[in-house]
Structure formats: C-alpha cells, structure tokens
Structure 1
Amino acid sequence: MGPFSVTGARDALRRTQTAMLLPAVLVGAGAGLGAVGFRWLIEAFTRVLSGHDDYSSAGHAANPYVPWLGPYFVLLAPVVAGAIYGPLVYRYAKEARGHGVPEVMYAVARQGGRIPPRVAVVKSIASALCIGGGGSVGREGPIVQIGAALGSTAGSVLRMGEDRMRVLVACGSAGGIAATFNAPLAGVFFAMELILRDFTARRFGLVAVSAVTASVIGRAALGDERFLDLTPVDVDHLAAYALYVLLGAVAGAVGVLFTKVLYWVEDICDAVWHGPEWLRPAAGGIVLGAILLALPEMYGVGYPVLGKAAVGGYEVGFLLVLLVGKILACSVTIGIGGSGGVFAPSLFVGAMLGSAFGQGMGHLAPGVTGSAMTYAVIGMGAVFAGSARAPITAVIIIYELTGEYGLILPLMAAVAVATGVSHALSGETVYTAKLLRRGVDLDLTGPAAIEVRAAMGPPPPPLTPGTGLREAATAMMEADAGRLPVVDGHGRYEGSVGALALARALHEVPPAGESIEAVRDYPPALLAGQSLQEALPLLVASDGDGLPVLDEERHHLLGWVSHRSALRALHPPS
C-alpha cells in the first residue's frame, strides 16, 4: 500500500499544480493589465488636476488650465480629488481607504483570501484621483490590492478552496508589484514574505509564473528601463562597510519613525474630524494643499525628485527638509482618508536620508566614503526594511531597480542592520500596525487566529415573539436545529429558544395558549470580530447546537456559529 499511496499522492499534487497554472497565468495577466491601466489613470488625473505630467518636478508652476490661480491651485487640487473619491470609497468599498497592503494581509490570514471584486475598481479610481490630486503616496499599495482582488475574484469564480484562493491572491499581488516596478523577483518575494508569510516550492512556482506574466505585459506597455542607472559600484575600502552599517542603523530608526508618525497623524485626524467620513478627504485636502504649496516636491509619488536626489541634485539641508516633508505629507494624505501606498514613500525617505548621509560623510571622510548615489540607493532599501521589516524584498527590489550587482554586499549589510534596529525599537511594522490597532495579530495561530465571522453561517429560521409552543416545536423540527433565534418585527434580536427547554414545557405544562415567552432565554451572544478561541468555551457550554452572532450594538442577528461550522473553520477543506 505504501508505494501506491505515495505515488497517488504525488499524482494528486501534480494535478493540483497543473490545475492552478492557468489561473495563475490569467491572474498575472490581469494584474499586469491592471497596473498599466492604473498608471494611465494616475497620469490622466495628474494632467487634469495639475496641468503637468508630474507636478513634483515643476516647482511652483501654475496649472495652465487655471493660470489665474498661479501656484495656489495646489490648495484646491486635493480638495477636488477628495470630493470625488471620498464618497466613492465610503459608498462602495471602505476597504479601498488607506494604503491597501494590510487589508490584503488580513484577507489572506483571516478571511480565506476573500476580497470583494468591487475593491479593484474602487481602489483604482480612488487611488488614481488621490495621487493625481497631489496625495503624497505610492502606487504599489493600490496595485497590490487591485491584483489581490482580481486573484480572489478568479478563485471565487472557479470555486476554489481557501488555500488555493490565498495563492491566487498572492499571485495577483506579485503581478501588481512586478508590473509596477518592472521587478518580477521583487513581486514574488513581496507576495511570499508579506502576503502569504510562508515559503513553499509549490506556492513559489505559481506566484513566479504570475509575476513573470505581469512583468512581460508591463514591459510591453511601459518599456523595459531601469528605475536608476548607477555607475559600477566597487567598495575599495573595508572601512566603508562601517559607514553602510551606520546608515543601516539610522535607516532602521527612520523607518520606525515613519511608521509612528503615520499612525500618530492618523490618530490626530480621527480626533479632530467629527463630520461625515465621505467628506473627510475633501476637508482635509486643505491641509495637504498647504503642505504642497510650501513644498511642491511632495505632489504625488515624486519619483523625479527621488531620482534627482539620488544623483546629488540637492544639498544636505534641503534633503532633510524633503525627508521630513515626505513623512508628513504621506501621513496627512493617509490620515485624511486618502488612498495610496507607503512603499514608494519609504523609498523616497530612504533616498533623501542616504543621499544626505553620503554627502555628509563625503566631507568627513572623502577617501573612504565613495559615491553619494550609492548611499541614496542603499538608504532606499534600508528604510523600507526598517518600516516593513521585509529584508528579502528590500534587497531584491533595490537590485532590480538598479541592476547593479556591486550593491549587494553593502545593501545586505545595511538592510540586515536596519531590520534588527527596527525589531529592537518596535514590535510592529508599517503594515501590521494598522491591523494590531484593530486587534488583529497575524502572528497568532489556531483558534486565536480565526475570527467568529469566518466560522459563522446563516442563522436558522427565526421565531417571532408570541409564537406558540407547538408551532415552535414544528419549526425546530423542520429546521433540524437544537436552538432557534427569536427576532421581532423590526429585525431586532430577542433571545432564543432551546430544544431542551421547549420539550420540558410541552411535557410538563398544558401547551394550549402557551407561547415561547415561557421558555425563551438569552444564551451568550458572540460578536463577529471575536476570536474563535473565545467562542469555543461558550459553544461547548451551550445546551443547543449553536450560538448567535450579533452586531456591535448587540441588536441585530448577523449569523450563527454551530459546532460543525466551528470545526470547519478550524480545518477548512482545501
């Protein structure tokens, strides 16, 4: 039996891999096309709202469409954009608010990879409007969420199990990164390190196929040019490694600072704003506009500014102004309800830090330091590693953006130190912090890692107050349930009736004229956001075959958790 069972298992695995190959290719193609379309949307909205292809490099120029406003049009551009995407996000997909990656991580870890398909459309439009209107955020977070939504939709259409659904979500995320940065390897490792948080050969192969497909489409549409062209890097002095290590330590601290300021500003915005959420981006756009008026280099993603800083186009003092300005502008954009990523801003901050560090050390130790451009590029990877704590992705993406293999050793040294410093200073990353603030710890496993919403099913047919005992017994038999909820005419939850109490009432009390009021009780109710670990003891102690799941106000019935649905959540079918 042994050899045959092993052979059968291998055949089954091979069939599974083959069955997933075509969906992975299709999802990669969709993510690649999505990235191209998203880039086009950003460029279109940027031209409409600023009158320039990229206003970050235009100085204090006026918008040619409204020349009488002069440079002051930037006060209105974020307001106009926010007035459009604010209601759009609020009405159709609240998940599209913010930087996107945490929502994908949460969907993979806690929701079986399920992401509503409308998220892809809303996120595309909202983020393109936000960036085109001056939002100082990146485009990688949105495209990760867009690609992930495409993968989830494909999995739903094909009726795949949760494990395969998660893989397709990772395929979409990898494809988005690959096409956006022309970096297929970085897309693969981003998906494996941050989205799946798990490395297996089978998953790696499928994610790689998707990333390659997306990258081919992206290169065909957007070109095959490196982000930065570096002169060959050669570390002539061993002492230079001490400088790279020092830069890594500073970058790790700056990455943590970026995370802290981002959520600190978001907390301030939450405390200050008391109006409707759909209006928040437009109202907060005034603050963002004021920052852009003072520092137009913060408009949009800001890649031209990053490129100029990397080649030494700014003095040290202004580089530090740009560093602080980007952290503040990005934080305000997210805090007011904007939609965009934090990956690119962390690269921007790293470039400013690295360039300033390299120029400063060049004056102090000119014979040892080397090119300031090298420090700018290494700073990009190190700050990202310090904020996201994804060292493999940080190394790979910088290598792919530059194509310079001579960077590898100093880059690895700086990224390793930045990651260590980040670990020492903070227990959260720029991505996990958002989830931890919602009470979600991705490092938890087992029942503690599963929310009640993932285990609940639809409630059994409810009874209404005043229902007779015999009628209730008939309803219970027809539903094949051991407990039925009681819901009034307004949809409010009014307790439940258990089979044991109902049987006793029918046996001991003359049933004529008697209603369920005599046997109605209020078993412990669950909330959708509770962990299954909290729910299991209550479920075991209940005398029926399930417990109700209520909304946060504990007024309305959302679902029902039974022993069977709890077991299914703990051991989902593949």
Structure 2
Amino acid sequence: MALAVVVGAGAGAGSVVFRWCITTFTRLLSGHADYAASAGASNGHVPWLGPYFLLLAPVIGGLLYGPLVHRFAKEARGHGVPEVMLAVAQRGGRISPKVAVVKTLASALTIGSGGSVGREGPIVQIGSALGSTLGRVAKVGEGRMRLLVACGAAGGIAATFNAPLAGVFFAMELILGTFSAEAFGATVLASVTASVIGRAAFGNAAFLRLPAFRVEHLAQYGLVALLGVVAAAVGVGFSRFLYLVEDACDWLWRGPEWLRPAVGGLVLGLVLLVLPEMYGVGYPVLQEATAGGYAVGFVLLLLGGKMLATSLTIGIGGSGGVFAPSLFIGAMLGSAYGIAVHRLLPGAAGPVGAYALVGMGAVFAGAARAPITAVVILFELTGEYSIILPLMLAIVLATASSRLLTRDTIYTLKLRRRGIDLEGPALGARIGAQQVSTVMEVLPSPLPAATGLTDAADLLSLSGHGALPVLDEAGDYVGVVTAQAVAEALAEQPEGAPRFVGQLAEPPASVTADQPLAQALHALLSTGGTGMPVLEPAHGRPVGWLSHQSALRALHTPAQRRRSLPRRPNA
C-alpha cells in the first residue's frame, strides 16, 4: 500500500510535467496555448506565414520525436495502452524505465505540433513505467509488479482527467482485466494520491458543462438506445479505419523509420490546413459541439476529419492516445444525432448536449469495451448526474453490439495484428500453445445424476480427483460435483438438503479439446477439486480430464526429455 501511494504521487507529478510539456510545445509550434480554440488563426511567431504554418508544424515535430522514439524506445510509438496490457498479461509487469521519459517528450511533441491524438494513452504508459521501475527497485514479485503497473495507470488517468474513480476502473477493467479487494485498495490509494496532486495543479473544474437534462418522455430512452447501437458501429469502424490507415502508411513508406513522422507530417499538415479544428486533442471544439454551436453538416465533417487525422497521426509514427479521439468522435456523432432527432421530435427529444455526452461514452465503449470505465469517466468529467440512466443504457447496448461485431477492441486489435493473444501464451513460451487434447488425461468414471450423496462421497474419495463429472439419465453432461459440496450437503442433512449429486452439480467454465492450453489454464485455476472435464467441441460431451498435474507435465516436452537423456560415449 505504501508503494501504491508512491506510484500515485509519481504518476500525478508525471501528469503535471506531461501537460506542461504539451502546453509549452503547442505555444512554440502554433503560437497558442490550444490552437483548436483559435482554429484558422496565424502563428504569432511567424505571422507572415498565415495559416500555412500548419504545413510545417507537424514536419518540425516529426523531425524531433521521430529520431527520439527510434533511437531510445520504439515501444513509445503509437497509443501506448496495448503495450501496458501486454506487459501485465505476459511480461510480469516489466516496462523499461526510459519509456516514461521518451513517451513524455514524444507525445508532447506530437500533440504540440498538431498531432490529433489524446493524452491519456501516454500518461497511462508513463505512470505504468514508473510503477514497474519502483517494483524492480523494491524487488517485489510478479503479482505485486503487475499491481504497481496498474496503480501507475490509475494515477495517470486520475490526475490527467481529474477522475479518480475512472482511473481505478480503467486500471482494473483494461489493464489488470480482473477485480479483487487488494487491487481495488491499491489502485484507489494511487488514484487518490495522483488526484490530489492533479487538482492542486489544474484545479477542480468539470471537464464539460452541459445543460440540465431530465428524461421527460419515454421516447427519449428509445432514442438513446438507438444511439448506443449506432455508436457501437462507429466505434468499431474507427478501430478498423485506424489500422487500415496504419497499414497503408506501412505499405507506402520505404525510407528510414526515424524520418517517417516528418515526411508523413506533410500529409497531416494538409489535413490541418483544410480542417484546423483537428489540431491537437481538440477539447475546445468538443465543448462547442456539445453546446450545439455547429450545424449538423459541419459536425459530421468534424467526425470524419477526426478519424482521418488521428489515424494519420498514429500511422506516420506519432505518439498519443485514442481515448480522447474516441470521445471526440462520439461527441460529434451524438451532436449530429441530437440535432436530427430534435428536428424530428422537438417536443420529446431533449437538449442536443445530452446526446453528445451519451455519444461520447457509447463510442468509447464500442471501441474499447470497457463499460464501467465509460460510465464513470463521463460522470466525473462532466459532473452531470441527471443523465446517468440514459448513459448507462446506451453504453451497455454499445458494448453488447460491439461484441457481436468483432472479438477485438481498439487496444487488443493492435496486439493481435502482431500475432499476440493476451489470453494465449507469450511468444516463445514453453507452455500454452499446444491443444488441450494433447495433454488431457483419461476421463474418470462419471456419476449418474441420481447417485445418492453417501455413495457419491465414497466414489469421490476413491477417485483421487476431488471432483467428478455428472451425467443425467439421457447421458448428457450436467456439470461437476466436488467432494467439498457433497461433504457440506451431508453435514446439513436432513434439513431439506439435496439428496442426489445431480442437485449439486455445477458446470465449470467450458474447456474444449481443441482449445489452446494457455486459455484453459484460466478456467482450471478457478475450479474446485484438482481438475475439470474437457468437452468435445461439437456436442459438449466430456471426453477427457484436465488436471493441474497434466498441465505441469506439458512443460516437460519431448525435446527437453531428449536433452535430459545421458549422452552415449563416443566409440
């Protein structure tokens, strides 16, 4: 817990430095603290260029951060969160300490020179690198190392967005991928510590100010639900378009990687010249859209422009997050949707700003599939509680619709394109790639569902497994009964306790014979007893038994056994 506080303080301080760097580079390269608030204006440092300085700013930024990333930390390229997820899932939470420094400078230069990306991905990677470095200094185990990395991510989000709860849930939902009392306590400490530092530096003002919103007509719930489904498609489309543009940049570029951001910056500069509102993160433009300050046609132009500008920034080798762009895209979608329904149903639609807020959360949920984080962060960023019910409805529908459309999120898709499955084995690992069918044992004799508890207790004691599969009268698989469940039921009799094992059988997480062992291990660790049935993929019938011992035996591969044999002396 003490280490979590230290990590939170480091992430909070890192957030202050990072935002100062963004402001400094933006002033140097655009002449404004936030150029999106004065889109189309000239640069005070070179007023004779007029708006055409936008062609040069991304090139200058690329010439600075391109060699920096290529020479010192190539993992600092891109949006950062997938690298942290990979480090936690397969590398024991180990992140190089130099990532924090390189990511700070590279991302600040990218945003300051016009890159249309967010600052949450960089600060997550910066805070996580700080947590990993402290873990190595303190010589903690891998479990605590992963937790400290999550604490760094939580602190970074909390300090950057003034959203301590969102930082906690972002770390647990996306970085750790699990919830536990220890993880919650540690990330809360880190998040609160970072938030105190962030509020001391940036104040405590809400991120957006929206008009009061009340659901006065039931039709509004239907409109919001439809927006959630549409937002899921837009979120998934943004993910695919992002990597499509990145593939195109990879295919077109044939020069040295350190020069790629500068040359690609010319193309980005053309986009900024046509649509200067895309310069940097774009929060002033987002605020104006939620206030209903733009016509529907221009809002849709901003939506498409943000997709293109963000994808180009990442594709040419820029460093920055995709969280803020997804909020921007969602706000434009929600604003356009709100304007349209307000014209169709002026008496029942409600204010446009409410739909913009719902669109923000729903598009992020559709892209990242982190519904709890989406709900909490939108509430904390706006301070608007009256819209929480429609917001939750849209986000849940967006998450469910996104899952139907694709198996990957905007974060995991980047890793899968590199051949990395977070639920599978690490590349080069000795265990996990083989199928369960190659390591499973013979299926122990199943128990009929009508077996009495006393007889079941005897059979379980003789089996040596601590658990046995249960079949009904038709021979269909019902579930697994454990020795513990039978013993507890016998202790409760005769006061209405179950009499047959079929009443105690519970199906564990499904493991099939064609599944990679690495995926099956997650289910195996959560089961009672010493193993679980392996099911036939087609019909779900048990065909084998996976135990902890059989999984461990998979480590001793035939090649290793050959190496362990004594060598025959030379003749």
Fold match (TM-score > 0.5): yes
- Give the corresponding residue for 1:174: 154
Whether the aligned pair in 2 keeps the contact of 1:95 and 1:103 (CA below 8 Å) is yes
Runs of at least 5 residues in structure 1 that lack an aligned partner in the other structure = 1-20, 456-531, 547-574
- Give the corresponding residue for 1:141: 121
Establish whether residue 226 from structure 1 lines up as the match of residue 246 from structure 2: no
Given the alignment, which residue of 408, 425, 450 partners 2:426?
450
Which amino acid in structure 2 is aligned with residue 337 of structure 1? G
CA distance in 2, matches of 1:351, 1:440: 32
* CA displacement at 1:537 relative to structure 2: 3.1
* CA displacement at 1:535 relative to structure 2: 8.0
- Give the corresponding residue for 1:119: 99
- Give the corresponding residue for 1:367: 347
CA distance in 2, matches of 1:391, 1:142: 21
SS, match of residue 340 in structure 1: coil
* CA displacement at 1:540 relative to structure 2: 3.5
CA distance in 2, matches of 1:396, 1:288: 33
CA 1:209 to 1:454, structure 2 compared with 1: closer, same or farther past 3 Å? farther
More off after superposition, 537-546 vs 221-230:
537-546
- Give the corresponding residue for 2:236: 256
- Give the corresponding residue for 2:439: none
* CA displacement at 1:453 relative to structure 2: 6.5
1:105-128 deviation line (CA, Å, top 9, x unaligned): 000001000000000000000000
CA distance in 1, matches of 2:565, 2:367: 46
Q: Equivalent residues in 2 for 1:193-212 (5 A)?
A: 193-212=173-192
CA distance in 2, matches of 1:211, 1:348: 24
- Give the corresponding residue for 1:395: 375
Q: Equivalent residues in 2 for 1:344-363 (5 A)?
A: 344-363=324-343
CA distance in 2, matches of 1:331, 1:437: 16
Q: Equivalent residues in 2 for 1:524-539 (5 A)?
A: 537-539=557-559
More off after superposition, 160-169 vs 420-429:
420-429
Whether the aligned pair in 2 keeps the contact of 1:110 and 1:454 (CA below 8 Å) is no
CA distance in 2, matches of 1:450, 1:381: 32
TM-score, normalization by structure 2: 0.77
CA distance in 1, matches of 2:269, 2:50: 14
Whether the aligned pair in 2 keeps the contact of 1:111 and 1:454 (CA below 8 Å) is no
- Give the corresponding residue for 2:260: 280
CA distance in 2, matches of 1:267, 1:234: 44
- Give the corresponding residue for 2:412: 432
- Give the corresponding residue for 1:422: 402
- Give the corresponding residue for 1:529: none
* CA displacement at 1:422 relative to structure 2: 0.7
CA 1:26 to 1:244, structure 2 compared with 1: closer, same or farther past 3 Å? same
Given the alignment, which residue of 254, 265, 286 partners 2:245?
265
CA 1:223 to 1:280, structure 2 compared with 1: closer, same or farther past 3 Å? same
Given the alignment, which residue of 371, 375, 379 partners 2:359?
379
SS, match of residue 563 in structure 2: coil
SS, match of residue 113 in structure 1: coil
Given the alignment, which residue of 24, 29, 35 partners 1:44?
24
CA distance in 2, matches of 1:544, 1:275: 48
Establish whether residue 102 from structure 1 lines up as the match of residue 82 from structure 2: yes
The 4+ residue runs of structure 1 with deviation greater than 6 A are 532-535
- Give the corresponding residue for 1:18: none
* CA displacement at 1:231 relative to structure 2: 3.0
Identity of matched residues, %: 65
* CA displacement at 1:69 relative to structure 2: 1.1
Whether the aligned pair in 2 keeps the contact of 1:452 and 1:535 (CA below 8 Å) is no
- Give the corresponding residue for 1:83: 63
Given the alignment, which residue of 1, 10, 24 partners 2:4?
24
* Count of residues paired in the alignment: 447
Establish whether residue 542 from structure 1 lines up as the match of residue 522 from structure 2: no
* CA displacement at 1:544 relative to structure 2: 3.9
CA distance in 1, matches of 2:67, 2:183: 38
- Give the corresponding residue for 1:458: none
CA distance in 2, matches of 1:454, 1:416: 39
* CA displacement at 1:152 relative to structure 2: 0.1
Establish whether residue 72 from structure 1 lines up as the match of residue 52 from structure 2: yes
CA distance in 2, matches of 1:255, 1:200: 29
1:512-543 deviation line (CA, Å, top 9, x unaligned): xxxxxxxxxxxxxxxxxxxx999863543432
CA distance in 1, matches of 2:266, 2:379: 38
1:469-503 deviation line (CA, Å, top 9, x unaligned): xxxxxxxxxxxxxxxxxxxxxxxxxxxxxxxxxxx
Establish whether residue 337 from structure 1 lines up as the match of residue 326 from structure 2: no
CA distance in 2, matches of 1:453, 1:46: 44
Establish whether residue 291 from structure 1 lines up as the match of residue 267 from structure 2: no
CA distance in 2, matches of 1:315, 1:41: 34
Given the alignment, which residue of 165, 168, 172 partners 1:188?
168
* CA displacement at 1:545 relative to structure 2: 8.4
CA distance in 2, matches of 1:343, 1:310: 18
* CA displacement at 1:194 relative to structure 2: 0.2
SS, match of residue 386 in structure 2: helix
CA distance in 1, matches of 2:68, 2:430: 27
* CA displacement at 1:370 relative to structure 2: 0.2
Which amino acid in structure 2 is aligned with residue 379 of structure 1? G
Whether the aligned pair in 2 keeps the contact of 1:42 and 1:129 (CA below 8 Å) is yes
More off after superposition, 57-66 vs 29-38:
57-66
CA distance in 1, matches of 2:206, 2:180: 30
Runs of at least 5 residues in structure 2 that lack an aligned partner in the other structure = 432-550, 567-571
CA distance in 2, matches of 1:441, 1:282: 32
- Give the corresponding residue for 1:524: none
- Give the corresponding residue for 2:468: none
- Give the corresponding residue for 2:530: none
CA distance in 1, matches of 2:288, 2:28: 25
- Which is richer in helix? 1
CA distance in 2, matches of 1:53, 1:309: 20
Which amino acid in structure 2 is aligned with residue 440 of structure 1? I
Which amino acid in structure 1 is aligned with residue 428 of structure 2? V
Whether the aligned pair in 2 keeps the contact of 1:36 and 1:218 (CA below 8 Å) is yes
SS, match of residue 393 in structure 2: helix
Whether the aligned pair in 1 keeps the contact of 2:170 and 2:373 (CA below 8 Å) is yes
RMSD (Å) for aligned C-alpha atoms: 1.7
- Give the corresponding residue for 1:304: 284
CA distance in 2, matches of 1:450, 1:291: 39
- Give the corresponding residue for 1:161: 141
CA distance in 1, matches of 2:122, 2:13: 14
Which amino acid in structure 2 is aligned with residue 107 of structure 1? A
